[in-house]
Amino acid sequence: MKRGTAPFFLALLAAFSLLIAACGDAFDEVAPPDDPDEDVIDPEPEPEPEPDEEVEEPEEVAEAQASCADAGLDNEQATVAYMPPATEFPYYMAIEKGIEARAEELGHETFTLAPLSDDVETQMGMLQDVLLRDVDAVIFSTHDEHSAAPLVQQIVDEGIAVVIVNSDIPDFPTPVHGVVGYVQRAGTYKLGEYTLETFGEEHKVGLIEGLPGYHSEERIGGFVDAIEDVETMEIVASLPGGWNVEGGNEAGMDMLQANPEITMIMTANDYMSIGANAAARALGREDVIILGNDGDTQGLEEIHAGDWEATVMTFPFDMGEQAMQFVHDCLTGDDVPEFFHEIPTEVVDEDNAIEYLQQPERLYPPPSQEY
């Protein structure tokens, strides 16, 4: 090697060595381990920081109860409007009698404002009218709570107490001061259990519903819940009956003619049961078991006579008394009631109908004879 080329060669060698070292470092960063079975050790994950405050829960639905503190009396005597869906139903008039009886005891005045027949549009117009009257409270029942909700909200906002009667609705679409009624699904569930025990577990069943809405769903639903796990209880027809005798008669006639195998009809109220029973008898089908719900006077008399089988007694007169008491307690603030006041129920058949018929002062209309 010549002396003049040595320094250059040494410099070149050094540069080459540095290049190899750099490339080796780079390969070390991405190359897998020499032993394919050797575990790759991942760096330990950094611990998640502790939250400074609790995680927010989803926003709760507004309370269903309006405050009685926002309602009150200008004097000792309250004026209370009773607003049922219609005056065509004696059941709601039995509630009215209970309201009037308790109001007289408490020293309050009441009046009834309702359509003659079940007409939601007319009832909504009456709700608007009541806003213009000097009332302290409204005892209200409707078959269309969603249409009523905006107007009920306006009434509540005016400082007027609102109590829903003949219901157990846990979440009326707008806050109200209270609900007085029976647990509808539980009542007809009890009827379903009674049916299985009393009439056996093998029937073709027809259902007659009321107008679409919460009341019909709960009443029909409770009975269906009680029988749905029994394979030999088959629901073969379900029709609307409009809550009245005529509708029940038409629905009963139609389903029995289209499905002659039906041996049992359950309806969402006694008026439709009365109509369905008339239809069955007109067709010569006295064998059909008829079941209802309410405890209407005519229904109780027909059950006592053995014309049809059973109903759920829901004590409408008592319900009216308790609704009026609820209003009084809410307005006076002496003993603010809980949101839902439950009225008990009982299955009534031929054996015990007489017990209720012998209390004519708590029925409306009164029985057709003395028992």
Tens digit of pLDDT for each residue in 289-303?
Answer: 999 999 999 999 999
Per domain, the residue ranges of the chain are 68-182+316-338, 185-313
Q: Which residues pair with 237 in a beta bridge?
A: 206
Give the tens place of pLDDT for each residue, 141-184. 999 999 999 999 999 999 999 999 999 988 899 999 999 999 99
Which residue did the predictor score with more confidence, 309 or 30? 309
User: Which residues 6+ apart lie within 8 Å of 268 measured at CB?
Assistant: 208, 209, 210, 215, 216, 219, 220, 241, 243, 293
Residue with tokens 């129920």, as numbered in its chain: 345
DSSP state of 112: E
140 vs 151: CA distance, rounded Å: 12
Query: How many Cβ atoms sit within 10 Å of the Cβ of residue 172?
Result: 22
pLDDT > 70: percent of the chain: 83
12 vs 226: CA distance, rounded Å: 96
**pLDDT value at 45 more than 60:** no
User: In this structure, which topology does domain 185-313 adopt according to CATH?
Assistant: Rossmann fold (3.40.50)
- Which pLDDT does position 282 carry in this prediction? 98
User: Which residues 6+ apart lie within 8 Å of 179 measured at CB?
Assistant: 163, 164, 165, 167, 168, 169, 170, 172, 339, 340, 341
CATH number of 68-182+316-338: 3.40.50.2300
Question: Please, what is the end-to-end C-alpha distance for the chain in angstroms?
Answer: 140
Q: What average pLDDT is seen over the chain? A: 86
DSSP state of 343: P
Q: What is the DSSP string of 200-258?
A: -S-EEEEEEE-SSSHHHHHHHHHHHHHHTT-TTEEEEEEEE-TTSHHHHHHHHHHHHHH
For residue 132, give the nearest of 148, 117, 113 by alpha carbon: 113
> With contact defined as beta carbons under 8 Å apart, do 63 and 328 qualify?
no
Residue with tokens 């409204």, as numbered in its chain: 138
Residue spans of alpha helices (H) in the chain: 6-30, 90-106, 120-130, 145-157, 184-199, 214-227, 245-258, 270-282, 297-304, 316-332, 353-357
Tell whether omega for the bond before 47 is within 30 degrees of 0, i.e. cis. Answer: no
Give the tens place of pLDDT for each residue, 83-103. 999 999 999 999 999 999 999
User: Which residues 6+ apart lie within 8 Å of 250 measured at CB?
Assistant: 241, 275, 279
Please indicate whether the domains covering 68-182+316-338 and 185-313 agree at the CATH topology level: yes
